[in-house]
Structure 1
Amino acid sequence: MRRMRDVNAQKVEEALGRAGASRAELREAHAHWTRLSHAPRAPKGAAALRMALGPPPFRGLRPAGSLTCDVLRWPLPSWPGLEYEALVGPGGELWNQWFVRPSGPVTLGFAGLVPWACVVADVAASFPGAVQIDGPAPHHWTIDFPHGGRTHRARFVYGLFQRLDRAPSGPD
């Protein structure tokens, strides 16, 4: 939630309220995770996710170029219909982690772009001409797409839609 707060602070505040948590507790949870991430003996990569989330209810394989990666997924109660997915390389390294719709992308109308309700694949599949570009920070994604005579920029954190902006005109 810490990274999501940078892009959509109101949704994070609402989620904290539903969870009965304070901003201080969010900061402490983030600090704890950061300390664990940098501790020499703490689990890394997928092992750290297993430690935090438990054993993944879904485990599968996915080709990635000439390699095959493990796919691990966890449902999370705050995001019904979505799952948190980790792609793990042959050496056990964590290649990617983000929210996905396990049943595959859904087609959305423009009004269906609701924060925390759709993922990268939904937006990419719903708007012809959509272009994925690098996000401004780790675990951020951006999709620019045309609609209604304008180019819009959908911003994601961990693959979960956060906010819609008007795309800048011209090169970034």
Structure 2
Amino acid sequence: MGCMPASSSRAPGPFTPLDFQLVLLRRMADHNPGLVDGARRDLGVSVADMREANRRWQAMARSPRSRGAASRYRSVLGAPETTARRTIGDLECEALRWPVPLWPDLRFEALLAPNGAVWNEYLVRAPGAPAPRLRTLDDLTPWSCTIDEAAHAFAPARPLEGTAPTRWGLAFRAPDANGELRDCAAEFTWGLLQRVGVRD
């Protein structure tokens, strides 16, 4: 996890990649406050800074003068690290990826439809970064994997409706420590695993 020197409350200014990381963390705080507090301290920012970054992001997204999501990501995060054409079903789209210093092995990806609209935006594994070994429930710890990795490791997985924007769910079966298959429901925020529930 990347580190920055500790600082006091930050003065208002341009919305930066650091602010964007705080937006990602703010959405994860409901599920894993301890992990989020540790990441926030590594970034050297306060709880108030995180809340303010989220407030500003929401205001930008809802503004009548708001640019499209892709333009907003470019203005905040800069030029994508990589761009690639991708075909998903019958849809051909463009995948834009940016580094996320908090998670060096991950990238933030926005998928653009042919009309330029962003139809998916989440964290994915960086090209060349080692994927986690997901074999049992014990491997499914918070922030350990992306939604794509969990779906692949425990196929067939069924998508579940998320409880809020930027949240998704997966239903699948996974072995416990004793090798017994259990029915599971996993929750993801921005594509990163937050928690797993097991049906008795």
Normalising by structure 1, what TM-score?
0.88
Indicate the residue corresponding to 1:23 in structure 2. 47
Alignment of 1:1-172 (within 5 A): 1-103=25-127, 106-110=132-136, 111-146=138-173, 147=175, 148-167=180-199
SS in 1 for 2:134: coil
Distance 1:20 1:6 in 2: 20
Deviations 1:81-137 (A, max 9, x none): 111100011111111100111448654122322322310111111124432222211
- Write the distance in 2 (CA, Å) between the matches of 1:91 and 1:128: 32
Rounded to whole Å, the distance in 2 between the matches of 1:116 and 1:107 is 13
Instruction: Name which of structure 1's ranges 149-158 and 26-35 shifts more when overlaid on structure 2.
Output: 149-158
Structure 1 gaps, min length 5:
none
Q: Distance in 1 between matches of 2:169 and 2:135?
A: 18
Q: Deviations over 1:25-83 (max 9, x none)?
A: 11100111111112222322111011111110100111133331110001111112111
Q: Counterpart of 2:196 in 1: which secondary structure?
A: strand
Q: Which moved more, 1:36-45 or 1:51-60?
A: 36-45
- The DSSP-based 3-state class of the residue aligned with 2:144 is coil
Distance (Å, rounded) in 1 between the aligned partners of 2:63 and 2:157: 40
Unaligned runs of 5+ in 2: 1-24
Query: How large is the RMSD of aligned CA atoms in angstroms?
Result: 1.9
Structure 1: how far apart are the matches of 2:148 and 2:127?
11
Write the distance in 2 (CA, Å) between the matches of 1:100 and 1:60.
14
Distance in 1, Cα, partners of 2:97 & 2:122: 10
Question: How many equivalent residue pairs?
Answer: 168
Most deviating of 15-24 and 1-10: 1-10
CA distance in 2: counterparts of 1:91 and 1:27, whole angstroms: 32
Question: What amino acid is aligned across from residue 39 of structure 1 in structure 2?
Answer: S
Q: Work out the CA distance in 2 between the residues paired with 1:73 and 1:9.
A: 27
